Structure formats: structure tokens, C-alpha cells
Amino acid sequence: MASEERLLVGFHAVTARLRHQPDSVREIYVDARRRDPRLRDLTALADSCGVRVVAVDDTRLAGLAGDARHQGVVARVEAAARPADLHDLLQGLSEPAFLLLLDGVTDPHNLGACLRVADAMGVHAVVVPKDRSAGLTPVVAKVASGAAESVPLIPVTNLARTIEALRAAGIWVLGAAGEGAESLLGVRLDGPVAWALGAEGAGLRRLTREHCDTLVRIPMFGQVESLNVSVAAALCLYETRRQRELSSVPGKLRARP
């Protein structure tokens, strides 16, 4: 497990870290011009945690935050310890694996939203290719609203080979695709599962599709033909979590084909 320093920007991300991992927050920089209740609450929370708050000008904040909208708050934190690789993460699980694989999601806002959904549904890790994905930037962390700290983001060299390894480990890999043979409303999802989703428009790459156990479509009942990847992920992950909660009730779920 490796640990390093990184920056968090925005009220949600910084507040979440203070509440859940206060010892990892090294310093917080705030806009010297702000005097509003929201900033006072954050400062009071930081004080109660023994974290130093430094008032700086907007130029300094912008330099720290880069392209992210900092809202007048930037924190310097110790990065959460991460599994060295996917194998290490799977070895440490005490329940059936629940993973989200993102293929070609390069928009940091989409990646951040997917991490937030993954955290809400109890996903063990989000897996992305090293060369065709947004990385864990301040923008991603801000959109994720704290989930970038709780859900491991694991980059892999080759997503297709990773899928093969997951299948060999007994994990059922489902690709979300409009032409999928199975409907999300009819597929069984209570065992070890990994969902593979592509960016809106491009979708999953051919090799990714071919290596999945099956392709699953999300039924669409209106005029819209496609969904943003984070919305599609929310639907797929929620249905998986719903079925897991029902799996202890005999007769509630049909057998997997």
C-alpha cells in the first residue's frame, strides 16, 4: 500500500475528509475574502480536528486547484492508502466481488460521478485503463464529493486481459450495451459481478465487448436513446445492490443461466 500527498478542492470533498479521516488532513487553504457561514462552519470543524487553516488570496488558491472550481477551499491531504493492484484487492475481500470497469471514460466529471455512485452502492473498486481514462485529478475528487477517498481507482495496462483474469477468478463480467441480449430487468446479479461501461456515444470497445460474459441492455421507455455513463452506472449498480439485498430471501431470484 502506497501513500502520498494530494490536493482536495471544494467544500464537499474537504468536509468529507475532515469528518472521516481528520488525521490525514495536513493543511487547509481558504479564501481570505470569504466570511460566510459555510466557511465558518468548515473552519470550526477544522479547528475541532486540530487542522491548521491558512487564509490566502485567490491567486494562490487558483494555482493550487488548477482547472478545478475550488469554491475558496483547497486542502493538502495524505492520499488514502490504495491496494497495490486488483489482485491484492480481490484477495482481501470478505464478500463477493462488486466492481465497476470504465472503458474510455476520459471526462473527469463523468469519472467523478461514477466514483460517487460506486461509493453509494458499495462497489469495491473502479477499474480503468491507464491510457484511455481520466485520472484522479482535483476535478475528479471534487465531483466525487469524498468518494475518491473511499473507492479505490485502479488503473490497468490492458482492460481485456483484466476481464479475462476476473472471469478466471469466478467473477461474472457484464458489459452494458444497447444491443445486449439480456435486459437489466431480467439478469441475475447477486454473485461476484463486474460491470463494464463505456463512454456515452462510443460505448465499449470491441475487445472489451468480446471478453465480457454477456452484454446487458438498459431498457429505455422514452424518447432518449442513450444515457450518460454515470447515469447508466447508477442503474446497473443499483440493480446489482438490490438483488444482493434480496439474495438471502429464498425464491426471490431466478437461477442464473
The predicted-structure confidence for 32-77, as pLDDT tens digits, reads as follows 999 899 999 999 999 999 999 999 998 999 898 887 778 899 999 8
Task: Give the whole-number percent of the chain exceeding pLDDT 70.
Answer: 93
Does the structure show a pLDDT above 90 at 207? yes
What cell numbers appear for 89 in the block? 484487492
Looking at residue 2, its pLDDT comes to 42
Euclidean distance between the first and the last CA atom of the chain, given in angstroms as a whole number: 38
Pick from 192, 230, 231: nearest CA to 213:
192
Domain extents for the chain? 5-78, 86-246
The pLDDT confidence band at residue 165, using thresholds 50, 70 and 90, is: very high
Each residue's pLDDT tens digit, 145-157 = 778 878 999 999 9
What contacts 3, CB < 8 A, 6 or more positions away?
78, 79, 80, 81
**pLDDT value at residue 173:** 97
pLDDT at 248 over 70: no
Other residues' Cβ atoms within 10 Å of the Cβ of residue 68: 22
132 in Cβ contact with 103 (< 8 Å): yes
* Average pLDDT of the residues in 17-24: 87
Architecture of domain 86-246: 3-Layer(aba) Sandwich (3.40)
Written as nine digits, the cell of 163 is: 476481464
Strand ranges (E), 52-118: 53-56, 73-78, 98-103
pTM: 0.74
Write the pLDDT tens digit of every residue in 112-148.
999 999 999 999 999 999 988 888 888 888 888 778 8
Q: Is 201 left (phi over 0), alpha (psi -120 to 50) or beta?
A: left
Instruction: At 28, list the grid cell.
Output: 487547509
Here the cell at position 158 is 490492458
Strand (E) or helix (H) holding 174: strand 172-176
CA 106 to CA 118: how far, in whole Å?
A: 17
C-alpha cell at 88: 491484492
Do residues 194 and 167 touch, judged by C-beta distance below 8 A? no
State the Cα–Cα distance between residues 143 and 134, nearest whole angstrom.
13
- What interhelical angle do 11-20 and 37-48 show, nearest 10? 20
91-100, 135-144, 177-186: least confidently modelled range: 135-144
For 12-49, b/e burial (b = at least 16 CB within 10 A) is bbbbbbbeebeebbeebbbbeeeeeeebeebbebbeee
Question: What's the CATH superfamily of 5-78?
Answer: Ribosomal protein L30/S12 (3.30.1330.30)
